[in-house]
Structure 1
């Protein structure tokens, strides 16, 4: 009996050590994503790196030892807003033709929905509430990449962005143009949790002609790489906070 207790104690310690060590996967994924954005990695090698890092994150999720129950619906990504705030007509602002994740910052598509807030003077404050608009996680997942640094002279289109991976559904979401970010790679976030505030960061979003909005994208895995899909119906059915 004593040997059995010692064995399980050793097993738990080993699992804990492995989980702590493997959290480096999030830092490495964030570094990898930055390389992709800057065009600093060759595509065949990039795909191998992406698959390896995602496997490590999925292992970490299993080690977490909590049963993942997929949510039946998302929470709308902006607190106090609903799908009527999505730009275009019936979501026709979404256009993913020609987009490839591994192209990084260089692509001509718009595989996203822009969700506009009430901000006529472009100060990133909601005209109705006189407060910043909260960006929230649509589901439970891991923050795998983000940046809270952006300068107006930068050509980076996403500005201050966040990538979240949802292991229950194997979906990724991308939130861009934020003003402030309140999470970091390796954080586990729950559905509806505040992760950022809407802003105007990003090459085009910063310009006066661009109304203040959240750029929201969703991706599924195809051949080991994130491929965009249109989440308009999910956003329409999402719960509002």
Structure 2
């Protein structure tokens, strides 16, 4: 009996130490996300070399792999996205059959000065450009298309800024090994290191960003998807996934 009690005490001590270790790792991982967020902001200002970018992406993805392991959850990859705007579907995508997307000339390391438009603009009903849906009288929620980790975001933007994305969010989706990018938001409700689930509200549609702020631009979400190629994000066209996405 005494032997069993000693064994139970050792097991309890082991799991107590494990929980402390997990807490310490979580704190360090939050710091890792903050560091990556600072790196991503530096990319926008230019001058970051490819080797440094590869190092930073490798670092944050290793942290995410560790966190996924600690979560100890087996999650089946989602076969279908949730559409990134609540109450909307692919009919809100600009252009004809998604032809507003063109990624030729885009380089992640070009930052704010990159060329092309590797994204789909998804427009809301907002004739007076007040960022309120004309049908509902409420802001339009931006949703995460899938489960993932917020690796970078910016919740500050001034009208005199030349930054194109305005208030933006980058999410990494480990099950699919892809990144999604949401720009021009009016408000952001996540931060680097946040774990988000499919369909979770992450922002509200806005008009932040150098071009989106101008009156000539209808209110919209700028949405992109990327994969890592040689350690650097490369865009690919998510139009078919958006067409099949489920509306909430």
Separation (CA, whole Å) in 1 of partners of 2:125 and 2:22: 48
Separation (CA, whole Å) in 1 of partners of 2:133 and 2:42: 34
Q: 5+ unaligned residues in a row in structure 1: which ranges?
A: none
Cα separation, partners in 2 of 1:155 and 1:8, compared to 1, 3 Å? same
How far 1:147 moved relative to its partner?
1.0
How far 1:186 moved relative to its partner?
1.1
Contact 1:25/1:57, CA 8 A, preserved across alignment:
no
Separation (CA, whole Å) in 2 of partners of 1:235 and 1:53: 27
Q: 1:88 aligns with which of 95, 100, 106?
A: 95
Q: 5+ unaligned residues in a row in structure 2: which ranges?
A: 1-6
How far 1:5 moved relative to its partner?
4.5
Partner of 2:3: none
Does residue 238 of structure 2 align to residue 228 of structure 1? no
Separation (CA, whole Å) in 2 of partners of 1:222 and 1:150: 30
What TM-score do you get using the length of structure 2 for normalisation?
0.93
Partner of 1:144: 151
What TM-score do you get using the length of structure 1 for normalisation?
0.95
The 5-angstrom pairing of residues 1-241 of structure 1 reads 1=7, 2-241=9-248
How far 1:44 moved relative to its partner?
2.2
**Structure with the bigger percentage of helix:** 2
User: Which deviates more from structure 2 when the two are superposed, residues 130-139 or residues 14-23?
Assistant: 14-23
Larger radius of gyration: 2
How far 1:238 moved relative to its partner?
0.3
Structure 1 vs Structure 2 CA RMSD: 1.4
Q: How many residues are aligned here?
A: 241
How far 1:40 moved relative to its partner?
4.4
Partner of 2:4: none
